[in-house]
Every structure is written in C-alpha cells, then in structure tokens.
Amino acid sequence: MGIFGPNSTDVEPGFNWYALYVHARKESFVASQLQGHGLECFLPTYKSVRKWSDRVKEVEQPLFPSYLFCRFDFQDRRPVVMTAGVQKIVGNGRTALPVAQEEISAIQMAVSSGASHQPWPYIEVGERVRVACGTLSGLEGILINFKGNHRVVLSVSLLQRSVALEVDLAWLVPVNEQRRVVNSGGVLQTSAVSSSIR
C-alpha cells in the first residue's frame, strides 16, 4: 500500500474503482465526505449482533473494516487524497492499482441481494462455482463447506479480503472441470464434477 499525492506516478486515465484505506470506524463519515465532493463511493456492510450487559442490538458494520471503494479518475485524485479521514489509496509501491470491476460488481450484487453475508478469511483455493438462479444469479465465487453449511466466497484480490454468502447447493453449477471444496478443517478436497454440485 502507498499514499498517493499530486506527484505520484499516474495510471491510465479514466474512471476506475480504487480501494481507500481510511481511519478505523470512520468509514461512513469518509464516504459521506467523498459523496459530498460528487464522487461515487461504495461502502459494503453487513448486519452483526452486538451484545451488551443490558441489551442486544443488530448493527451495520463495514464488510472490510478501514476500507471503502471510490470511483474516480486517478489523474484527478486530489479531492480524494485531501478528504479528511483518507489515509491511503491502496496500491503497489508508487503505483495505484484499480480494483477489478467484476469484483466490485460481485460484492455490490451480494450486499443488495438480501442473502446472509459476513466477512471471511481470504482464500484462493476451492472450486469456482456460479449461482444459477435467484437474486444472485450469475454471481461467481469459491465454494466452501463450513460447519455443515455451504457458502460462496467472494474476494477482493487487491485487499486480500473476502465475503461469504450462505447458499443452497441446488442453486450452483461448477465453473471449472474439477471440483475443489474446502471443508471446515481447511482441507482441500478434489473430485470429478458432474453437471450439478452434490
């Protein structure tokens, strides 16, 4: 990660999605400030149950704590880096790296679907599957089995962060020829794939 100012190395011109590293617990505040500058922001959240000694409350929390996404032209980044609360534009060395549009679209679809979702440890292994029906139709991710429940994991490669959505196996079709499922013990299992997921 790096901090990018007016003299940093530019990437290709045009509007792209970038991940911004912001002050902890200030994600919503920063997003509203950026939107006030006319910038498009995306702050994915999930519902979490918080317990206190005298009450239990459901609260919205960021899926990627201390991160949010903003779409802008990197050559016109000054309003972004000057916004209070923004610490860094995520990149490699002095080069900003846009987040893949398909990854942003997948996360947007996931949070707007109403399906139960939560933060998940970043993974790269496992079978790639596609949801074939319902509000998540067309969504692709990695299939895992965690404590007897099946989830599709979506990842943001640049952040090395993931999100898991609960799914019904009947909704899924394999994308690859080999089936790889990560079980709750972290063991990778491989077997032949038929036309549906068992």
pLDDT tens readout for residues 114-146: 888 999 988 775 789 999 988 899 999 999 988
In this prediction, residue 43 has a pLDDT band, given cuts at 50, 70 and 90, of: very high
Alpha-carbon radius of gyration of the chain: 19
Mean pLDDT value across residues 109-117: 92
Mean pLDDT value across residues 97-108: 95
Q: Which of 39, 110, 102 lies closest to 68 in space, CA to CA?
A: 39
Q: What is the pLDDT of residue 11?
A: 43
pLDDT tens readout for residues 47-58: 998 888 888 999
Residue 189 pairs in a beta bridge with: 181
pTM equals 0.75
Max mean pLDDT range (13-22, 48-57, 61-70, 138-147): 61-70
User: Are the C-beta atoms of residues 95 and 118 closer than 8 Å to each other?
Assistant: no
